């Protein structure tokens, strides 16, 4: 969960049943004290916002509004230092209700999640006292947006549609907003040109099958500032290619570029200085493995010592700041001898080192501060999770290898992921795993407390098969799809699962499978009182069942997107 301070927004898409009196979301202390909560009562015809002040007092604000029954509405609660605004719209974007109320003081939400800081969706955490009041109906989207008081609800995106573009605007202070460089449909945004085979992927993003994107309207970057880039991608196994490069037309003068090599198992950042010419920094990070990765990169063109700096975070793990050989020189605005490509660098033959794979996100922002803030490029939408971070699980530290991050499971328990995004009916999960021969266990599972599986992948050495168990919208019974491929053989396997509503695609090493589901996957939402996501087991009435025995070397998830090519 992102940390919420005194300024944040809550966005929810809901549809209530008649007579509902329940919580949409609640952040509480486990005993019912609500640090932040949104509650609707049909009886009183009102939406209540509960909060805890800096002095620890419980306060609330009441918005008089009757939420229509069996009709979808989009709710926004935007919290600033002194007030909270409530805006409610319908699917057409028409405003049903809008009001602003004054807060008693600034808020004091708890953080991080723990037994004393419980995030609940559709209910309120309460270990003692009366049972909490649960929401009756649907909650199809829930976003917690830190550090921003939005002014309009974020409408949900149907499956297999391109995410809305974000445009660039420069303020009087020289800072710029986020530019979505994967938006090839809006000239006002990036004026990007697709060259060759590049396809739109389910949920947004682009699939690169030998083509590239030329950004024809990239802004120049201040010589004393720099830029930040956030990329979420799945690069094809054994690929060697540029994620991006800004160069002259011949490609031999790289203002800056990031190259991913499977041959040398590393990322390489190329840049140009006015004193030493072309330079390169090799980073011991490999992403050309067919797995899901997120790269956050900040380049400071010149610090106080007139030297550039490189700040890098990969898969939510931050690396030490690297001082560059000199101040970085940008070739400027787009022109015949200053070109910006996504998926290659320019060359005298048209292009070189083409990237193959899929990019779910490529966002750019200029004018960054030397601190290297890239997090704001991703905070508005929870897109990616590294599921092997010890800080988001309930596993003991000794189950993780301190050098490699691998997770060792001995078959007696799995790992509960306490902090993750909303999977919904469209998502991707990738893993590298070694399952011991003879073991029957779950690679991952989202289930309720009794073990009903909303979605899961089970590996059986008995049947030599992988089985995807799931709940389908409109069906009350457990559904399943079996894939005849065995991985319980004490060998490392690469596994990718892509779910796009009613379709599942599975890749195991070099084998690919697909199936049509009986209905869209019906996940149970975010981590909560009766919604659990595990690696290496599923829940049961006894606490857990079918434990994996082996080693998980990689595990990551991308939300609200699917793979165009598995």
- Token pair 């969706």 in the structure block, residue: 121
Task: Extract the tokens encoding 268.
Answer: 């390489």
The end-to-end CA distance of the chain, in Å, is 29
| DSSP 8-class letter at 218 | P
How far is it, in rounded angstroms, from Cα 248 to Cα 250? 6
Report the distance separating Cα 193 and Cα 112, nearest Å.
Answer: 43
Q: What's the pLDDT at 375?
A: 54
d(CA 101, CA 78) in angstroms, rounded, equals: 11
Question: If we measure between CA atoms, which residue out of 307, 306, 287, 309 comes closest to residue 298?
Answer: 309
- C-alpha to C-alpha distance for 36 and 418, rounded to whole angstroms: 18
Please write the tens of the pLDDT for every residue from 290-325: 999 999 999 988 887 888 899 999 998 989 999 999
Q: Which residues contact 500 (CB under 8 A, 6 or more apart)?
A: 159, 160, 202, 203, 426, 562
Nearest-10 Cα torsion for 488, 489, 495, 500: -30
Query: Are the C-beta atoms of residues 202 and 159 closer than 8 Å to each other?
Result: yes
At residue 420, the 3 state secondary structure works out as coil
pTM of the full predicted structure? 0.69
Token pair of 505 as six digits: 């695609």
- pLDDT attached to residue 456: 98
- Residue 273: φ, ψ to 5°: -115, 160
Q: For the chain, which ranges sit under pLDDT 70?
A: 1-2, 125-132, 152-178, 183-191, 219-224, 367-381
For each of the domains in the chain, give its residue range(s) and CATH number, in order of start.
8-146 (2.60.120.200), 179-377 (2.60.120.200), 384-559 (2.60.120.200)
DSSP letters for 96-151: EEEEEEE-SS-B----S-BTTBEEEESS---SSSSPPPBP-EEEEEEEEEET---S
Sheet containing 339-342, strands listed edge to edge, beginning at the edge strand earlier in sequence:
192-195, 212-215, 339-342, 240-247, 254-261, 266-273, 277-283
Closest CA to 51 of 33, 65, 64: 33
From CA 420, how far away is CA 394, in angstroms rounded?
13
What confidence tens digit (pLDDT) does each residue in 141-184 have? 788 888 778 876 654 433 333 333 333 333 323 334 567 777 65
CA distances from 74 to 15, 189, 427, 547, 563 (A): 9, 26, 22, 40, 28
Strand partners, 496: 430, 507
Please provide residue 375's backbone torsions phi and psi, each rounded to the nearest 5 degrees. Answer: -60, -35
| 458-487 core/surface letters (b: 16 or more CB in 10 A; e: else) | bbbbeeebbebbbbbeeeeeebebebebbb
Q: Quick one: pLDDT at residue 171?
A: 32
């Amino acid at each position: 969960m992102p940390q919420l301070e005194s300024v944040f927004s809550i966005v929810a898409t809901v549809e209530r049943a008649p007579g509902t009196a329940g919580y949409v979301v609640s952040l509480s202390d486990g005993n019912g004290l609500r640090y932040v909560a949104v509650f609707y009562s049909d009886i009183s015809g009102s939406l209540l916002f509960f909060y805890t002040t800096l002095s620890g007092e419980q306060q609330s604000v009441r918005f008089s509004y009757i939420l229509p029954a069996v009709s979808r509405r989009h709710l926004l609660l935007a919290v600033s230092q002194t007030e909270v605004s409530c805006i409610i719209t319908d699917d057409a974007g028409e405003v049903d209700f809008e009001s602003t109320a004054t807060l008693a003081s600034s808020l004091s939400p708890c953080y991080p999640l723990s037994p004393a800081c419980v995030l609940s969706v559709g209910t309120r955490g309460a270990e003692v006292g009366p049972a909490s009041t649960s929401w009756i109906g649907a909650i199809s989207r829930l976003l917690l947006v830190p550090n921003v008081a939005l002014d309009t609800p974020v409408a949900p995106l149907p499956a297999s549609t391109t995410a809305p573009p974000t445009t660039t605007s420069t303020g009087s202070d020289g800072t710029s907003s986020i530019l979505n460089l994967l938006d090839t449909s809006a000239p006002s945004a990036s004026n990007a040109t697709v060259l060759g085979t590049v396809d739109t992927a389910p949920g947004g993003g682009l699939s690169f099958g030998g083509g590239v994107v030329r950004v024809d309207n990239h802004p120049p970057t201040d010589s004393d500032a720099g830029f930040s880039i956030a990329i979420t991608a799945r690069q094809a196994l054994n690929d060697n290619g540029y994620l991006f490069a800004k160069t002259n037309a011949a490609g031999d003068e790289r203002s800056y570029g990031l190259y991913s090599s499977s041959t040398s198992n590393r990322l390489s950042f190329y840049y140009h200085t006015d004193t030493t010419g072309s330079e390169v920094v090799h980073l011991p990070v490999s992403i050309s493995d067919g797995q899901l990765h997120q790269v956050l990169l900040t380049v400071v063109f010149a610090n106080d010592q007139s030297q550039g700096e490189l700040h890098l975070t990969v898969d939510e793990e931050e690396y030490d700041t690297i001082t560059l050989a000199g101040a970085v020189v940008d070739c400027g605005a787009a022109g015949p001898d200053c070109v910006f490509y996504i998926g290659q660098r320019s060359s005298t033959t048209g292009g070189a080192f083409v990237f193959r794979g899929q990019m779910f996100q490529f966002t750019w922002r200029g004018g960054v501060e030397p601190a290297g803030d890239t997090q704001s490029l991703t905070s508005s939408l929870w897109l990616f999770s590294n599921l092997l971070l010890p800080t988001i699980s309930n596993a003991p530290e000794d189950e993780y290898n301190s050098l490699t991050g691998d997770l060792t499971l001995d078959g007696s328990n799995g790992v509960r992921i306490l902090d993750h995004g909303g999977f919904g009916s469209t998502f991707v999960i990738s893993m590298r795993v070694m399952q011991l021969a003879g073991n029957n266990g779950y690679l991952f599972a989202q289930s309720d407390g009794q073990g009903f599986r909303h979605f899961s992948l089970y590996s059986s050495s008995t049947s030599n098969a992988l089985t995807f168990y799931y709940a389908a919208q409109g069906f009350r019974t457990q559904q399943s799809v079996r894939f005849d491929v065995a991985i319980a053989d004490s060998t490392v396997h690469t596994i990718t699962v892509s779910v796009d509503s009613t379709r599942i695609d599975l890749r195991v090493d070099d084998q690919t499978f697909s199936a049509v589901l009986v209905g869209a996957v019906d996940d149970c939402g975010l981590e909560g009182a009766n919604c659990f996501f595990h690696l290496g087991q599923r829940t049961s009435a006894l606490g857990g069942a079918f434990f994996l025995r082996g080693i998980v070397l990689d595990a990551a998830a991308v939300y609200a997107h699917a793979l165009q090519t598995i």
